Structure 1
């Protein structure tokens, strides 16, 4: 090639720019567990400071109308497949350790697509999509590495999973009767911590949040940056531990940092949240140190709302305030959770997205960000919609409707279209349908520390790449995403226990679901009922296979949870 030196330099610069433009972004997806709307301080709660999470929120995009499923397994299935759980038979209650149920093998999932696009894929933390046969485990489903647990929870320190085998009992409320899960019978115990396919015994005593954070940081520090990374960090925090050990956090943190919280259980929960926030800061700082942050996409969200008063077995004092309902219900407190997108690839300075988004949308959205051809995306038979362009350019969302919950076994349903939401049925005879959770308005709580956000690990790492707003603007953003329950004129309460008919709400005007408008707006009610029927037509029944404790018992596998069926 005959080129003068200047021409050659220009040509090399052009080639370098093309290569840089085609470099795929690293994707860091942080999914926390059972964290409620009011458990992050950027939502207006001064009680539990979360400076690292807040730093991501204020310099990224707060996804103010992001929806998940009300229970953990369905949310994770939706993320991994881009399909509504009710369309693949994974709706309803989560998968039990001794239950022969898993994410169907005929569905290609997110890490498998990302591997084809050149990504190294790593899962750290919770799987909970079935493991009764080896082919259902993470390494067989597209992950290059796995350090975590198969089931829905483990003890924070000894990493044992206690699986209670459920029986079904009748629940009564007045003249109405329903079915409840009873867990007072047989229990199976075993270690549930694996590195790839090998049980890990030598981490006993290590606090789970720190353990998974250490692993995530190690993955980043040892990553070859010439290869794009998909790191799925699925934390145990702030899910309850095993029976009798629901709330676990380092005592020194509980006693030194949160003495101003009167409720002792909420005090321990605050320490659990603080450890989760610290984890976010450490991961962001590691990306910065490795020179990966400038080409990264970070997602932070919770898989469902807090259980709060759900049951004595897995209760935590997490808070969904002021949203109605708790985990497992179809109310906003169960399905509308904290959610953040952060990336230097964002082309705007807006800090709040008011667009409707569903957890299934991350499947095509992340594949779009990773460079999957638009024709391939449109050919996929998924329920999620590609939100990448609307997110990075702050344009209107292409989503305006979705099923919120379709659970035919528990007979609870909810759908959304625009600002309207339909709710039908009740969870456990409506015992958990009310408002729940600490409001955080304790007068002894510390003043919101904006400087602490700027000086957090995440704040220091990201500020050069995407500057946070000044203090006045930051507090304005916080005020805008703090949900209040506006007064309703002569409200009609929705009583799904007494009445079998559905209720409808205008969520924009009534985010706390206080005023049922079904009698006032029969036109909207009929349209919403038609939408519900449209979604129910494609519903795949949840088989909910019976538990097989004799076959799955960890005692048969050196006291560890392992694939237990050939």
Structure 2
């Protein structure tokens, strides 16, 4: 799966090892957006939404071109935590519902536990969504020293509640303590404040691992078990600021994304004030493609790709991502190698001085590639997923991608083209150059930096490759050449039968290794009415606590 020249590896490994031993372990800050699409960031060519701080991270670091996540929330977060494909964990299916007793076995290696073994302090701010039936399956049980946020899939931005199986309850915790005094506070602001507190109070002698898992830009207040609405902190989405966007819902979406971007700038500034920015790796990515339509639709855009969240087409799994480190030898570049969300676990563990080579992870350690702008490790295959319940699967091998059936039995809502966005205003280069992130990283408005940003953005702006008439259906197999046809408009499976057979065989090998899904119905005993209106770890006798007292 990964091609390495041994002689080159030995030479570079010596350099990496000496760096790890000679310097303090790097701090690691991972920022995860929720349901933000490919075309919802400025560096991909979007002129509708300003993301100056995210754009500036890539300008001073690396933009990813072929970055893939899983198709939805829970599978992506399981892959991030463990470095393994969800099929290894039984987490390949639909996301966890509040009140569902599903959890990851503690037999699996996790990144925060491994980093703790290297002396790190680990903090999770925001979304968990990997199980909460018992406190033994909440963030602290997997290596985090603290958690501030919600345990399930999403909450309303102001009330912090979520509905499941007809039951409405709040889901806002500081560690295991329900927070009863946060109603009315905008969740993105709460995430920002808490993240800055963690950074400010962190002991200098310890390396920091901070995961900031945003609610933005998922829909918030639930209007039903499979729907939701967007909530903004102010009326800044109005005609005066976003009048150039015809769709009012997308105006609200733009405000939510821009407020998240502002939060990122505040976090980078806090790292700078703490004096640790120069020794911090900062990662940003979205957990899956945007649900333009369908369940919890937010009007995000995956243009020009086919598909949305829950689909294995590019729009569902190919997402925006950037990474920054002062250690990168060549900054302000585009990383073309395949990169999967499972790769962060071995990559960041390696950056911290660990060795994941014998752990049997599905992720590839690409730290050397990122630091030295090398092609030492070449990832040429990604298992997108195998969902035996919904009956669809997908695999990328080199330039080719095989889809075996589609989500929703071919429902065009999930598998066709959505979210086309016209270019209707100029890109604001000045905002990027004068952003908090760019200024904290020691850069100012220079002609050279402006030229570099515009040149990189031009390369990353995907041309409209959609067909004039979409006639493609994939009730069975479809093979695509992603290099020639990134919009997945032409099935070439019959034209290239040997390639199709090769990818089909690879999928079968993975399928033989697949663990059955652990999805379960909502347990009626989880009803938040049993815990003063809060979703809680109902499987524990002491699962419901208020003010450090068991209820």
Per the normalisation by structure 2, the TM-score is: 0.90
Distance in 1 of aligned mates of 2:484 and 2:537:
49
Q: What are the superposed Cα offsets for residues 422-459 of structure 1, whole Å, 9 maximum, x if unpaired?
A: 0011211222344444333153x3x2111111101111
Is 1:296 equivalent to 2:280 in the alignment?
Answer: yes
* Corresponding position of 1:379: 358
1:162-173 to 2 correspondences below 5 Å: 162-163=163-164, 165=165
Q: What are the superposed Cα offsets for residues 260-279 of structure 1, whole Å, 9 maximum, x if unpaired?
A: 22211011111001111101
Total equivalences in the alignment: 516
Distance in 1 of aligned mates of 2:190 and 2:276:
22
Q: What are the superposed Cα offsets for residues 68-88 of structure 1, whole Å, 9 maximum, x if unpaired?
A: 100100000000001100111
CA deviation after TM superposition for structure 1 residue 224, in Å: 1.3
Q: Secondary structure at the match of 2:236?
A: helix
Unaligned runs of 5+ in 1: 1-16, 166-186
* Corresponding position of 2:175: 196
1:8-407 to 2 correspondences below 5 Å: 21-163=22-164, 165=165, 187-244=166-223, 246-255=229-238, 256-311=240-295, 314-349=296-331, 351-372=333-354, 374=355, 377-396=356-375, 397-407=377-387
CA deviation after TM superposition for structure 1 residue 405, in Å: 1.6
Q: Secondary structure at the match of 2:509?
A: helix
* Corresponding position of 1:6: none
Per the normalisation by structure 1, the TM-score is: 0.88
Report the CA distance shift for 1:487/1:140 in structure 2 as closer, same or farther (over 3 A): closer
Q: What are the superposed Cα offsets for residues 226-247 of structure 1, whole Å, 9 maximum, x if unpaired?
A: 2110000000000111323511
Q: Secondary structure at the match of 1:111?
A: helix
Partners of 1:210 and 1:279 within 8 A in 2: yes
Partners of 2:112 and 2:122 within 8 A in 1: yes
Is 1:461 equivalent to 2:437 in the alignment?
Answer: no
Partners of 1:485 and 1:510 within 8 A in 2: no
Report the CA distance shift for 1:533/1:321 in structure 2 as closer, same or farther (over 3 A): same
Q: What are the superposed Cα offsets for residues 321-364 of structure 1, whole Å, 9 maximum, x if unpaired?
A: 10110100110001000011111011223510000011001111
Distance in 1 of aligned mates of 2:284 and 2:447:
17
Report the CA distance shift for 1:146/1:487 in structure 2 as closer, same or farther (over 3 A): closer
* Corresponding position of 1:450: 429
CA deviation after TM superposition for structure 1 residue 388, in Å: 0.5
Is 1:414 equivalent to 2:389 in the alignment?
Answer: no
Partners of 2:20 and 2:351 within 8 A in 1: no
Task: Single out whichever of 242-251 and 187-196 deviates more from structure 2.
Answer: 242-251
Distance in 1 of aligned mates of 2:430 and 2:446:
14
Report the CA distance shift for 1:486/1:321 in structure 2 as closer, same or farther (over 3 A): closer
Distance in 2 of aligned mates of 1:210 and 1:153:
16
Partners of 1:412 and 1:426 within 8 A in 2: yes
Distance in 2 of aligned mates of 1:465 and 1:83:
40
Partners of 2:293 and 2:414 within 8 A in 1: no
Distance in 2 of aligned mates of 1:91 and 1:466:
45
Distance in 1 of aligned mates of 2:175 and 2:447:
39
Partners of 2:66 and 2:337 within 8 A in 1: yes
* Corresponding position of 1:535: 510
Report the CA distance shift for 1:433/1:513 in structure 2 as closer, same or farther (over 3 A): farther
User: RMSD in angstroms over aligned alpha carbons?
Assistant: 2.1
Distance in 2 of aligned mates of 1:102 and 1:415:
26
Unaligned runs of 5+ in 2: 1-17, 541-551
Report the CA distance shift for 1:340/1:104 in structure 2 as closer, same or farther (over 3 A): same
Rg larger for:
1
Partners of 2:219 and 2:229 within 8 A in 1: yes
Q: What are the superposed Cα offsets for residues 130-179 of structure 1, whole Å, 9 maximum, x if unpaired?
A: 0101100112221111101000000100111112x2xxxxxxxxxxxxxx
Q: What are the superposed Cα offsets for residues 46-90 of structure 1, whole Å, 9 maximum, x if unpaired?
A: 011111111112111011101110010000000000110011111
Distance in 2 of aligned mates of 1:63 and 1:455:
23
Partners of 1:297 and 1:343 within 8 A in 2: yes
CA deviation after TM superposition for structure 1 residue 466, in Å: 13
* Corresponding position of 2:479: 504
Distance in 2 of aligned mates of 1:55 and 1:18:
26
* Corresponding position of 1:179: none
Report the CA distance shift for 1:19/1:385 in structure 2 as closer, same or farther (over 3 A): closer
* Corresponding position of 1:555: 529
Distance in 1 of aligned mates of 2:347 and 2:502:
29
Partners of 1:308 and 1:436 within 8 A in 2: no
Q: What are the superposed Cα offsets for residues 476-535 of structure 1, whole Å, 9 maximum, x if unpaired?
A: 1101111124488x99954113xx2x1111101111001111111112111111111121
Q: Secondary structure at the match of 1:545?
A: coil
CA deviation after TM superposition for structure 1 residue 257, in Å: 2.4
* Corresponding position of 1:173: none
* Corresponding position of 1:438: 419
